[in-house]
Amino acid sequence: MSVAKPLPHDAARLHVTGQARYVDDIPTAAGALHLAFGCSKVAHGTLQSLDLAAVRAAPGVVDVLTAADLPFANDVSPSAHDEPLLATDSVHYVGQPLFCVIATSHLAARRAAGLGTAKIEPLPPIFDVETALAQNSRFEDGPRIYERGQANTALETAPIRLSGQMEIGGQEHFYLESQAALAVPGEDGDVLVHSSTQHPTEIQHKVAEALGVPMHAVRVETRRMGGGFGGKESQGNALAVACAIAAMRTGRPCKMRYDRDDDMVITGKRHDFRITYDVGFDATGVITALDVRHDTRCGWAQDLSLPVADRAMLHADNAYFIPNMRVESHRLKTNMQSATAFRGFGGPQGMLGMERIVDHVAGHLGLDPMAVRERNFYATGAAAPPQSTHYGQEVDDFILPGLIAQLKDSADYDARRAQVDAWNAEHDVLKKGIALTPVKFGISFTLTHLNQAGALVHVYQDGSIHLNHGGTEMGQGLFQKVAQVAADRFGVPMAAVKITATDTAKVPNTSATAASSGSDLNGMAVRIACDKIRNRMAAHLAELHQCNVAQIRFEDGYVITPAQSYTFAEAANLTYVGRVGLSATGFYKTPDIRWDRIKGEGRPFFYFAYGAAISEVVIDTLTGENRILRTDILHDAGASLNPALDKGQVEGGFVQGAGWLTMEELVWDDAGRLRTHAPSTYKIPAASDAPDIFNVALWDGENRADTIYKSKAVGEPPFMLGMSAFFALSHAVSACGPDYPDLQAPATPEEVLASIARAKGV
Amino acid sequence: MSNKMHIKMNVNGEEQEFLAEPRELLIHTLRERLDITGPHIGCETSHCGACTVTIDGKSVKSCTMFVAQANGKDVTTIEGLGGPDDLHVLQSAFKEHHGLQCGFCTPGMITRASKLLEENPNPTEEEVRFGMAGNICRCTGYQNIVKSILAAASELQAAKEAAE
Ligand code: FES
Ligand code: FES
């Protein structure tokens, strides 16, 4: 069995020796050219003219492209065709690409790009939620509303009623490898594009449109990314399209990688949200009614904002059954980077809003928030019929109560909460806080047709196996997990399986590797392809030996018939000589899902993934500085395909989530310029910021849904475990005064200080 | 452009000689001129550590150094530490203890860690965390990176004791 083993990452040996190739490491033929964008310095306006004489005259410059030079589609949007590669007559944010320099080196291109000037007649920009609402600047014609029960009447009759608001900041992906693409022109108008992308098919599609050729003329290959996190789902389109156009124009390989500054200024980030709520509950903390409103700034183009905002609505309940619940979501168009996919895809913002409501209710009643959580959980156990979410999906796999009991026990939660309170009573300057937060995250793309995947498997006559599928590798370990599936189906050692780069010429029409779906979808497609070949091999050997197919086993590198056992290589060769095909495709689509996103009704998710975390923090009440002292996590990965890689996802997800809520802050100035556009001003967690004590375990249990080897998706859900750090801070601040601290995210030292003042009522 | 300078340096045990603009960044020299692509570019502003190399026994972020400053020096990159078939103790520790995900930070991490363990052969977990704070990783949450370094440290210690 190769599944369920904690094998290292498939390319670990190459990574530790610096031999693993990223796009920027691919050797190019002499004469390769490099690209850089010249960008708008104005947030909103009419583009009147570009003066590019100095750019063209700069050393190393071969050509400069503007919108007028683009031969076909000028569009890199993944959704609404509202995102030109190069601006035409209007500009919509500071950082929008206006022209593209093609030069002999990366530095020459960047230097020259700085020499262009644009005449832009400014128009009033829209930055904040109020202005966007006042001017009805939004995507879709109005808000989306999902409702179950009668939230507003139930609020009227609720024993206690509370309202509040929370601002949730965005987040820069900060994948360590910035966006990159390389296009190599081929014969007869063909082009090969290497792209650091989570979505090779979309790159292929956009490049084909831009070149005015069918998709078959464009091949996209992605071996790996140096991190993605959703930031490479659509944001790589511009680079790949620009490189392809430049390569066709010049006949030379063309490469583009964003400088870190450019990457931060040009590309989209996590959506920020304002959550406004009106909640009704009783004196024990049971919530009976909730009306919650989401206002999210989507930036200038639609990109993936609609499904992101939908997913936020779908997670506005987190783990709680609220009989009367209404969610209203406004997707606002603003003159900023176009916010995009980021691990959790809106889910974290929706969930954080709900956890904040629970925290506020508990604060109001003077209860441990954990008690309020437990009183509102979805029903569980055979006795209780499954309850439905506010969008009508039955929660029939709710394992959180058992999972949380185990976590509380292993982390000694109750005793430690009492100790924290006692410690706080004796300390004035430093205050501690502890919180347990749960996660329930829906798995599947909410756009139902994306829940499909393909694979291509070849067995060669020497018994070696070539494995390909539509998923991309960004560090999450997908390639290894899927290879473990293939090795298991054939009963061969891992070394027999060759993992190959994602390639649109091998598996077509793939979905983005996103929504945590990589292993679920591609693992199944690979299993189906492998089983086709295995069955053919077995049928051939059964015929040779006049035995029953069911008697043939594939184990430990052997194919065993009742009469004789062959090495896998011998069996492959025999099958080949018997003129039986040893190549197969596999195709899988997720069963049992349906979703009407306008009505907000259906069963959008195949299943839910669960987890819970306990974090303990300490704050300095004089400076607002804080750190995480200890975190304990129990996370549900089903029957894990590879527990080591899955634990890695949990640890990394938690730290990234805690970073989002405690230290990562995006700041734009009044002119719409992103001021935090470099790692000097935008801080992500360093090794010294991770928890001092960090215990992570996987929940021991199978997925009840019929997934690949009963495993569960694990890419996104652990990100939301970072909420425990935020609510531990809220607890610590609560110890400073009688009032609810009303902590906003991110809880930077400044924000912690401000919330201490609120808690003290000053 | 004018003013090229004659540069000589030893990279991973090999003498290299070439003409370069003195203000060329060492990371560009390594990656573009010498095709040594193990050190990566994560920020080019000295904040991420992906480009870390060792120069005359010290950890240096090669995006903060001009090639002229490296003239006459010994430069070791991840490639000089060990290859796929002869992994350095730290390299196998990162592999076995899952000290990487996307791998982009890994060459810089390991190169930095190799110096950290020379500076402090027997570090505590906290010393590792602070000693590595100049190298950022967006994927792992650092837990397995710290584990890998501590495992390598005890292995190196054990080997040293055995040799004594
Ligand atoms: S590239 Fe040198 S420190 Fe980031
Ligand atoms: S493994 Fe991806 S940045 Fe460290």
What's the pLDDT tens digit per position in A39-60?
999 999 999 999 999 999 999 9
B71 and B10 part of one domain: yes
Place of tokens 């369920």: A4
Mean pLDDT of A511-523: 95
Quick one: DSSP state of residue A688? G
B107 and B49 part of one domain: no
Q: Can you tell me whether residue A15 is helix, strand or coil?
A: helix
Q: Are strands A287-297 and A324-332 parallel, antiparallel or unpaired?
A: parallel
- Within 10 Å of residue A563's Cβ, how many Cβ atoms? 11
What count of CB pairs under 8 Å joins A to B? Answer: 191
- Tokens found for residue A117: 């000037």
Is-catalytic flag, A209?
Answer: no
User: DSSP characters for A153-222?
Assistant: HHHHH-SEEEEEEEEE--B----SSPPEEEEEE-GGG-EEEEE--S-HHHHHHHHHHHHT--GGGEEEEE
pLDDT tens digits for B94-121? 999 999 999 999 999 999 999 999 999 9
- Tokens found for residue B49: 């550590």
Q: How confident is the model at residue A1 (pLDDT cuts 50, 70, 90)?
A: confident
Q: Does A15 touch chain B (CB under 8 A)?
A: yes
Q: Are strands A465-469 and A452-459 parallel, antiparallel or unpaired?
A: antiparallel
B104: nearest Cα among A176, A260, A683, A264? A176
Q: How confident is the model at residue A616 (pLDDT cuts 50, 70, 90)?
A: very high
Q: In the Cβ-directed half-sphere of A184, how many Cα atoms lie within 13 Å?
A: 13
- Which of B80, B112, B127 is the last residue in one of the domains? B80
CATH number of the domain that B103 lies in? 1.10.150.120
B71 and B14 part of one domain: yes
User: DSSP characters for A330-383?
Assistant: EEE--SS------TTTTHHHHHHHHHHHHHHHHHHHT--HHHHHHHHBPP-SSS
pLDDT tens digits for B143-155? 999 999 999 999 9
pLDDT tens digits for A222-239? 999 999 999 999 999 999
B69 and B115 part of one domain: no
Mutate to test the interface with A, among B102, B104, B149 (most CBs of A within 10 A): B102
Separation of alpha carbons A142 and A139, rounded Å: 8
Out of A202, A328, A664, A716, the active site residue is: A716
Domain count, chain B: 2
The pair phi, psi for residue A559, each rounded to 5°, is: -115, 120
Give A454 to chain B, closest Cα distance, Å: 23
pLDDT tens digits for A471-516? 999 999 999 999 999 999 999 999 999 999 999 999 999 999 999 9
B22 and B45 part of one domain: yes
- Yes or no, beta carbons of A475 and B139 under 8 Å apart: yes
- Yes or no, beta carbons of A260 and B42 under 8 Å apart: yes
ipTM, interface predicted TM-score of the complex: 0.98
Give A365 to chain B, closest Cα distance, Å: 36
What do you get for the CA distance between the two ends of chain A, in Å?
A: 63
- Tokens found for residue A556: 């430990």
Place of tokens 């779908």: A314
With a CB cutoff of 8 Å and minimum separation 6, the contacts of A295 are: A129, A133, A273, A274, A276, A330, A332
Give the start-end residues of each E strand in chain B. 5-11, 14-20, 52-55, 58-61, 74-76
The predicted pLDDT at position A711 comes to 97
Its domain, for residue B101, covers: 89-163
Q: Does B100 touch chain A (CB under 8 A)?
A: yes
The pair phi, psi for residue A661, each rounded to 5°, is: -95, -10
Separation of alpha carbons A482 and A3, rounded Å: 9
Mean pLDDT of A583-607: 96
**Contacts with B, A 683-702, CB within 8 Å:** 684-688, 690, 692, 694, 696
B74 and B98 part of one domain: no
Whether B50 contacts B137, CB under 8 Å: no
The predicted pLDDT at position A383 comes to 65
CATH number of the domain that B74 lies in? 3.10.20.30
Mean pLDDT of A532-561: 97
Give A156 to chain B, closest Cα distance, Å: 46
User: DSSP characters for A528-567?
Assistant: HHHHHHHHHHHHHHHHHHT--GGG-EEETTEEE-SS-EEE
The pair phi, psi for residue A147, each rounded to 5°, is: -145, 140
- Which of B41, B59, B80 is the last residue in one of the domains? B80
B102 and B75 part of one domain: no
% of residues, chain A, pLDDT over 90: 98
Locate the ligand 1 atom nearest the alpha carbon of residue B47 and give its number.
Answer: 3
B64 and B113 part of one domain: no
Separation of alpha carbons A523 and A590, rounded Å: 12
Name the helix (H) or strand (E) containing B2: none
A636: nearest Cα among A610, A671, A654, A655? A610
What are the helix and strand counts (H, E) for chain B?
6, 5
The pair phi, psi for residue A273, each rounded to 5°, is: -135, 145
Whether B109 contacts A664, CB under 8 Å: no
B103 and B63 part of one domain: no
The predicted pLDDT at position B1 comes to 47
B11 and B76 part of one domain: yes
- Tokens found for residue A611: 């987890």
- Tokens found for residue A747: 């809880």
Q: How confident is the model at residue B164 (pLDDT cuts 50, 70, 90)?
A: confident
- Which of B45, B80, B115 is the last residue in one of the domains? B80
Q: Are strands A254-257 and A33-39 parallel, antiparallel or unpaired?
A: parallel
- Within 10 Å of residue A121's Cβ, how many Cβ atoms? 11
| Ligand 2 neighbour B93 (Cβ under 6 A) | no
Q: Does A463 touch chain B (CB under 8 A)?
A: no
What do you get for the CA distance between the two ends of chain B, in Å?
A: 55
Quick one: DSSP state of residue A7? P
Separation of alpha carbons A479 and A481, rounded Å: 6
Quick one: DSSP state of residue A62? E
- Tokens found for residue B89: 């103790």
Quick one: DSSP state of residue A274? E
Degrees, nearest 5: CA angle A467-A472-A473: 95
User: Which one of the ligands is nearest to A173 CA?
Assistant: 2
B54 and B116 part of one domain: no
B100 and B145 part of one domain: yes
Cis peptide bond N-terminal to B123, omega within 30 = no
Q: What's the predicted TM-score (pTM) here?
A: 0.97
Q: How confident is the model at residue A385 (pLDDT cuts 50, 70, 90)?
A: confident
Averaged pLDDT score across all residues of chain A: 97
The predicted pLDDT at position B3 comes to 82
Separation of alpha carbons A597 and A389, rounded Å: 14
pLDDT tens digits for A281-323? 999 999 999 999 999 999 999 999 999 999 999 999 999 999 9
Sign of the Cα pseudo-torsion (A313, A314, A319, A325, in order): positive
- Within 10 Å of residue A706's Cβ, how many Cβ atoms? 11
With a CB cutoff of 8 Å and minimum separation 6, the contacts of A280 are: A154, A155, A157, A158, A159, A160, A161, A287, A288, A289, A290, A324
Degrees, nearest 5: CA angle A544-A547-A549: 95
Sheet of A497-499: strands edge to edge?
Answer: A497-499, A465-469, A452-459, A583-589
